[in-house]
């Protein structure tokens, strides 16, 4: 199975041999930061274009088709437009918090990239409580939204921020219980351990009905957590202008916009890791020939293919369902998803103790 591990190991050995351990560590951290920032930039360009093309396909129209061949450079034009727009700060705003909020949203997204295994033996930080780390750090993102809404000194922004706070805190419960379902079955919080537990089959296939239920609830919950339609009450343009980022423009708005798409990528990466085997190829029991053929596909392609499949699913939701009211949104979580998640976790625990999964 191919991976980036050889490149990373060779670079690590060369740096330690030529510049010493201290500078090697510093250079590796700088390179990792540059790699993550580059990935963010590429994701912003790719996912915005993908969103537009998917929406056009859903609505039987062409989508962007003027800038570049078949509109492929439309994202570059949008980026250039945001870069040259003036960054405006309202007179009555808390200037420090108003300007810091977009950067906090990006910082949280960068922190969440650390424990994700992008390919076999290719991970920025292999922490033994990777799933707990992701759950804890992802909770900080709501602070940037509340900060932006309050600091803007705008009632629409504040209402949007409060909606987002209630929404994210609520749906974190169901998302967390879905994640715990896989942790119970895998017996570990370590991301590589969870991936290796799926060497003989992804959990969505070998985990029976409890894992299927957990997967459906996870996708619904993370769609709500990322403020994506039909759960985009925090920025409902028909009610709140643009919600918590009403007063933002230029690059500060672009950072919030980028953070939304990066967060979609991250939650889909987590979903692919927990339910679809991460970078693990599709293996079927004792089918040795089939399994060997699957191993020829690079692990990174498996991982990114699964991520973009889940991203397409979330985009499909946006263009298929109407926006919910805020009371419907909270009723769905507290009256339905949360009780189902708790019962489902109990079933998964019984199944794990009894060893009744494949």
- Tens of pLDDT, residue by residue over 344-355, are 999 999 988 887
Is residue 221 classed as helix, strand or coil in its secondary structure? helix
Q: Taking CA 262 as the corner, what is the angle to CA 257 and CA 265, rounded to the nearest 5 degrees?
A: 135
Q: What is the pLDDT of residues 131-181, one digit of tens each?
A: 999 999 998 988 998 999 899 988 888 888 888 888 888 999 999 999 999
Structure letter (DSSP) for residue 128: T
Find the mean pLDDT for residues 239-258: 82
pLDDT score of 237: 62
Q: Quick one: pLDDT at residue 236? A: 65
Please state, in angstroms and rounded to a whole number, the distance separating the CA atoms of residues 358 and 355: 8
Q: Are 153 and 313 in contact (CB under 8 A)?
A: no
> To 5 degrees, how large is the angle CA 23–CA 129–CA 141?
85
Is the model's pLDDT at 3 over the cut of 70?
A: no
CB-based contacts of 312, cutoff 8 Å, min separation 6: 50, 54
pLDDT digits (tens, 9 = 90+) for 85-116: 888 888 888 889 999 999 999 999 999 999 99
C-alpha dihedral sign at 81, 87, 92, 95: positive
The CB density around residue 33, as the number of other CB atoms within 10 Å, is: 12
Q: CB–CB of 277/198 below 8 Å?
A: yes
Identify how many contiguous H helices and E strands the chain contains and give both numbers.
15, 2
What are 228-238's pLDDT values in tens digits? Answer: 878 887 766 66
State percent of the chain over pLDDT 90: 44
pLDDT band at 243 (very low <50, low <70, confident <90, very high): confident
In the chain, the percentage of residues whose pLDDT exceeds 70 is: 96
Tally of residues, the chain:
358
- Quote the tokens at residue 184: 């119970």
Average pLDDT for 239-264: 84
* Cα distance between residue 99 and residue 87, in whole Å: 10
Q: Residue 286 pLDDT > 80, yes or no? A: no
- DSSP string computed for 47-87: HHHHHHHHHHHHTTS--S-SSSGGGTTHHHHHHHHHHHS--
pLDDT in tens, 187-218: 999 999 999 998 888 999 888 899 999 999 99
pTM of the model: 0.91
- C-alpha Rg value of the chain to the nearest Å: 21
List alpha helices for 187-207, DSSP H: 191-196, 203-206
> What mean pLDDT comes out for the span 29-48?
90
Predicted local confidence at residue 339, as pLDDT: 96
The arithmetic mean of pLDDT across residues 34-51, rounded, is: 91
CB proximity list for 74: less than 8 A, separation 6 or greater = 48, 49, 52, 64, 66, 67, 68
155 vs 307, higher pLDDT: 307
Task: Output the average pLDDT for the chain.
Answer: 88
φ/ψ of 117, rounded to 5, equals -90, 105
Does residue 326 have a pLDDT over 50?
yes
pLDDT confidence of residue 1: 43
Report the range of poorest mean pLDDT among 35-39, 48-52, 233-237, 329-333: 233-237
């Amino acid at each position: 199975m191919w991976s980036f591990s050889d490149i990373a190991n060779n670079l690590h050995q060369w740096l330690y041999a030529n510049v010493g351990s201290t500078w090697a560590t510093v250079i590796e951290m700088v390179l990792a930061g540059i790699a993550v920032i580059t990935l963010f930039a590429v994701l912003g360009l790719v996912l915005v274009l993908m969103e537009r093309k998917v929406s056009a396909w859903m609505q039987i129209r062409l989508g962007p088709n003027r800038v570049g061949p078949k509109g492929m450079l439309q994202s570059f034009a949008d980026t250039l437009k945001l870069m040259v727009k003036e960054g405006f700060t309202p007179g009555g705003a808390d200037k420090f918090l108003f300007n810091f909020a977009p950067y906090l949203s990006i910082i949280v997204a960068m922190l969440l990239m650390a424990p994700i295994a992008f390919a076999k033996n290719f991970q920025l930080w292999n922490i033994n409580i990777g799933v707990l780390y992701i759950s804890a750090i992802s909770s900080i993102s709501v602070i940037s939204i509340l900060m932006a809404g309050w600091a803007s000194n705008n009632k629409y922004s504040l209402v949007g921020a409060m909606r987002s706070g209630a929404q994210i805190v609520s749906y974190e419960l169901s998302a967390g219980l879905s994640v715990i379902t896989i942790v119970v079955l895998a017996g570990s919080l370590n991301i590589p351990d969870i991936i290796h537990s799926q060497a003989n089959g992804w959990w969505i296939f070998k985990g029976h009905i409890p894992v299927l239920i957990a997967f459906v609830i996870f996708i619904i919950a993370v769609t709500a957590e990322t403020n994506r339609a039909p759960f985009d009450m925090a920025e409902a343009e028909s009610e709140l202008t643009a919600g918590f980022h009403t007063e933002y423009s230029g690059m500060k708005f672009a950072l919030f916009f980028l953070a939304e798409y990066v967060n979609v990528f991250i939650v889909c990466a987590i979903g692919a890791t927990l339910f679809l085997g991460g970078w693990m190829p599709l293996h079927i029991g004792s089918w040795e020939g089939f399994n060997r053929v699957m191993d020829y596909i690079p692990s990174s392609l498996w991982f990114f293919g699964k991520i973009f499949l889940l991203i397409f699913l979330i985009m499909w939701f946006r263009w298929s369902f109407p926006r919910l009211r805020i009371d419907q949104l909270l009723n769905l979580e507290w009256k339905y998803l949360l009780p189902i998640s708790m019962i489902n976790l109990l079933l998964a625990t019984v199944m794990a103790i009894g060893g009744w999964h494949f």
